[in-house]
Amino acid sequence: MAYTHYILVCGGTGCESSNADGIYNNLLAEAKAAGVTDKVQIVKTGCFGFCEKGPIVKVLPEDSFYVEVKPEDAKEIINEQIVKGREVTRLLYNKEKRSIEDVEEIEFYQKQLRIVLRNCGVINPESIEEYIARDGYLALERSLYELTPQQIIDEVKASGLRGRGGAGFPTGMKWEAGLKAQGDVKYVVCNADEGDPGAYMDRSTIEGDPHSVIEAMTICGKAIGAHLGFVYIRAEYPLAVDRLKIAMNQAREYGLLGKNILGSGFDFDIEIRLGAGAFVCGEETALLRSIEGKRGMPTPKPPFPAQSGLWGKPTIINNVETWANIPVILTKGPEWFTKIGTADSKGTKVFALTGKVKNSGLVEVPMGTTLREIVFEIGGGIKNGKKFKGVQTGGPSGGIITEEALDTPIDFGALTRLGSMMGSGGMIVMDEDDCVVDVSKFYMEFCVDESCGKCSPCRIGTRQIHAILDKISKGKGTMDDLEKMKEIGFAMQKSSLCALGQSAPNPTLSTIKKFEKEYIEHIVDHKCAAGKCKHLLQFIINDKCIGCGACARKCPATCISGEKKSKHVIDQTKCLKCGECFNTCKFGAIDKK
Amino acid sequence: MAKMSLEDLRKMREATQQQIKKRETDGKTAQIIVGMGTCGIAAGAKATLDAFVKELDEKGMGGEVVIRQTGCMGLCNNEPTVEVVVPGMPSIIYGGVNAAVAKGIVEKHLMKKELLNDRIIDRPAVDLLKK
């Protein structure tokens, strides 16, 4: 008996942490109890991307998109929908728009085009059969039997694919260098050391579709003549590591990895290397040192890894998202791929949209989509009706993009011209309550912690800029400090050894450029308009105070005093500026200045 | 599972494709909407739904057609009712759709674009929400 229904439960880390496992197990138990196990297939799948509303459960063929599902809802889903055929309306995302005429669209997905995430939320990532059913290993088939190594590389080159790790180097050219490099031993490496705060594209891709990375690495092995690959992945991504291991074992069992792949005589295998979570190990040369068992520190380029990488052998290293594009390009052809995107950048880009935006989640859009479309249409705009301030792209290596650039079509070139960078795809939205000094300080603190210390511009520069930012946030900055930061930043950009140091000053420099006024406000007026720099804040009780004493009871520093039913006073010398009184007062009697 | 040859891989892909295609919602051309109110279910709508799934599987059309369920269409005397939406054709409501009629709908309406005239029923009322 064929299944009439499919229930897809999100099994990404985000949804699992809000008990998607419980939902999955309850669904299985309820289906058994209702005697419908032969009618409904319950699948745990990869991330749907709509993490804001997780856990997500999707029921097909009705295409019911259920959000914020709880384990106890399982009974209703099975009994109502599977047994009786009625959707559980209260769990639907779009309750009112539901109509039988059209399978309605959710705004979040309307502008998206999913190439990298093509299988995420569709297949069970722990089932190789389901990956194969979606044209999986078709590209490998072609690469082994129809194409020569040069032809594979020509197709990748013709597709115009650029590295998705951040720098955007043309992938085909990199592979060609790998092919031409002399040596009997070569390596293929997957960079899954995703470290930007707020970014989780690569984790979700591996969690939702691990075979796409395995297939792509094998194809590259064939193209350059390598027989061993490494996936360098963070140890703090346990689910991704597990799924990757399962997928590798399945592929080996089926003869798609290992000796004599598909009877073609070509051997290729992959090993996993766990990273300990150092940001610098996302830099390719540092990553390779770490695989070798050495301390993760970058080395000067050239020589590039394609000439001299792992243990001095030619090594092709690409980011997870780059790898995930490869099987599609070789299946659908480079012409198809070049039709998507802009002249400068082809294909799509996955962004992890987070911050003060309504629909945070994983978003894949064609290159050339504007920030306005991503933030305001897909993202649904700013939370709580606040005003948009800017978007930080590229994490601690990128810069802030403001209102006037919202309509610029995004691609590698455009973001660089705006003083930011594509980065790996973190996108943090800020509103009027965010202070640029505070944000810059946060990113610089991150870089201080993560600088490996090998070269002085980065080791000392990050610390110095952080110290200045700290001074400014406490109202002790001077106008000279702005110039000093620009100078140090410039020196770091020009003389740091690797991209970490070269890009570390970007958030600070771009905010000084776009929001100089705000810095000056902090320095000259000792004011933080957003109210984030607490050293510059003052809480003052005004005449609206009725003397209820609620604030005094909450104050952790017991610095609020006054008679009952008369105006209270805050002792400014003892005040910790925690804001408890401000949040407690129901009468608007406390001013935050 | 032993190691696969190229042939085996192709065979497996073909065999599994049908099932997985049903999970996709893009690129589907036709919709079959089965009325599954209490009246419909009592009149055998579940068997009708199963029949559609089976029929489409057999014809290899699982990837092209969305089968959806809805509540009572207000034609309780003609249950099970089924609405068929095919692009380029008016959307048609059929009444009294048992397994045999379901087979007919797949073979004629979906495959040959011919209507099953003796089973067509008019909409009970205009859709107020769309006016």
Per-residue pLDDT of chain A (593 residues; tens, 9 = 90+): 467 788 989 888 888 888 889 999 999 999 999 888 888 889 888 888 788 888 989 887 777 889 899 999 999 999 888 887 778 888 888 655 443 333 345 667 777 888 999 888 888 898 999 899 889 999 999 999 999 999 999 999 999 999 998 889 999 999 999 999 999 999 999 999 998 888 889 999 999 999 999 999 999 999 999 999 999 999 999 889 999 999 999 999 999 999 999 999 999 999 999 999 899 999 999 999 999 999 999 999 899 999 999 999 999 999 999 999 999 999 999 999 999 999 999 999 999 999 999 888 889 999 999 999 999 998 889 998 899 999 998 888 889 999 999 999 999 999 888 888 888 888 999 999 999 999 999 999 999 999 999 999 999 999 999 999 999 999 999 999 999 999 999 999 999 999 999 999 999 999 999 999 999 999 999 989 888 888 888 889 999 999 999 999 999 999 999 998 899 999 988 888 888 899 899 999 998 87
The residue with greater pLDDT, A446 or B58, is A446
pLDDT tens for B8-39 read 898 888 888 776 776 665 566 788 888 877 78
Out of A85, A136, A254, closest to residue B4 by CB: A254
Count of domains forming chain B: 1
Q: What element of type H or E holds A187?
A: strand A187-192
3-class state of residue B32 by DSSP: strand
Which residues 87-126 on chain B approach chain A with CB closer than 8 angstroms? 91
Q: Which residues of A touch B19 (CB under 8 A)?
A: 2-3, 133
Q: Domain residue spans in chain A?
A: 5-104, 128-337, 348-431, 436-525, 538-592
Contact A440, A471 (CB under 8 A): no
Whether the bond into A302 is cis, omega within 30 of 0: yes
Note whether residue B79 is domain-resident: yes
Mark residue A215 as left, alpha or beta (left: phi above 0; alpha: psi -120 to 50; beta: remaining).
Answer: alpha
Q: How many CB pairs under 8 A join A and B?
A: 98
Note whether residue B19 is domain-resident: no
CB contact under 8 A, A134 and B20: yes
Contact A360, A379 (CB under 8 A): yes
Phi/psi at A194 (5° precision):
-85, 120
What's the pLDDT band for B109 if we cut at 50, 70, 90? confident
- Angstrom CA distances, A317 to A21, A102, A156, A407, A575, stand at 34, 45, 15, 33, 53
Q: How far is B42 from A85, CA to CA, in rounded Å?
A: 12
Which CATH number does the domain housing residue B85 bear?
3.40.30.10
Spatial neighbors of B18 by CB under 8 A, at least 6 apart, are B57, B60, B62, B63
Q: Which residues of A touch B3 (CB under 8 A)?
A: 253-255, 260
Phi/psi at A155 (5° precision):
-65, -40
Q: What is the pLDDT of residue A490?
A: 96
CB-based contact, A130 to chain B, within 8 Å? yes
Contact A207, A125 (CB under 8 A): yes
Q: Which of A190, A208, A274, A220 is nearest to A247 (CA)?
A: A208
Q: Which of A171, A248, A175 is nearest to A210 (CA)?
A: A248
- In CATH, the number for domain A538-592 is 3.30.70.20
Q: Which amino acid is at A264?
A: S
- Terminal CA-to-CA distance of chain B, rounded, Å? 59
- Give the minimum alpha-carbon distance from B52 to chain A in angstroms, rounded to a whole number: 9
Which residues 40-59 on chain B approach chain A with CB closer than 8 angstroms? 41, 45-46, 49-50, 53-54, 57
- In CATH, the number for domain A436-525 is 1.20.1440.230
Q: Which residues of B touch A255 (CB under 8 A)?
A: 2-5
The residue with greater pLDDT, A210 or B4, is A210
Q: Which of A329, A359, A320, A334 is nearest to A112 (CA)?
A: A359
Mean pLDDT of chain B: 79
- Angstrom CA distances, B119 to A173, B35, B79, B83, B85, stand at 63, 15, 11, 11, 15
To 5 degrees, how large is the angle CA A406–CA A412–CA A416?
A: 70
3-class state of residue B70 by DSSP: strand
Q: How far is A89 from A98, CA to CA, in rounded Å?
A: 9
Contact A288, A189 (CB under 8 A): yes
What's the pLDDT band for B112 if we cut at 50, 70, 90? confident
DSSP string, A189-201: EEEE---STT--H
pTM for the predicted model, two decimal places:
0.82
- Angstrom CA distances, A444 to A167, A439, A449, A489, A507, stand at 20, 9, 9, 11, 8
Q: What is the pLDDT of residue B27?
A: 60
Which residue of chain B is at minimal alpha-carbon distance from A42? B23
CB contact under 8 A, A122 and B6: no
- Mutation test of the interface with chain B: which of A9, A87, A100, choosing the one with the most B Cβ atoms within 10 A? A100
Please state the length of chain B: 131
Q: What is the pLDDT of residue A1?
A: 46
Q: How far is B12 from B3, CA to CA, in rounded Å?
A: 13
Q: What domain range is B62 assigned to? A: 28-130
- Give the minimum alpha-carbon distance from B97 to chain A in angstroms, rounded to a whole number: 17
Question: Does the domain spanning A5-104 belong to CATH 3.40.30.10?
Answer: yes
Q: What's the rounded mean pLDDT across residues B97-105? A: 87
CB-based contact, A40 to chain B, within 8 Å? no
CB-based contact, B3 to chain A, within 8 Å? yes
Out of B10, B41, B129, closest to residue A85 by CB: B41
Spatial neighbors of A479 by CB under 8 A, at least 6 apart, are A520, A523, A524
Contact A62, A104 (CB under 8 A): no
The CATH architecture one would assign to domain A348-431 is Roll (3.10)
CB contact under 8 A, B5 and A263: yes
The CATH architecture one would assign to domain A128-337 is 3-Layer(aba) Sandwich (3.40)
Note whether residue B124 is domain-resident: yes
Q: How far is A287 from A298, CA to CA, in rounded Å?
A: 8
Please state the length of chain A: 593
CB contact under 8 A, B3 and A255: yes
- Give the minimum alpha-carbon distance from B68 to chain A in angstroms, rounded to a whole number: 5
Out of B13, B23, B45, closest to residue A132 by CB: B13
Q: What's the rounded mean pLDDT across residues B101-109? A: 86
CB-based contact, A104 to chain B, within 8 Å? no
Q: Which residues of A touch B85 (CB under 8 A)?
A: 101
CB contact under 8 A, A135 and B66: no
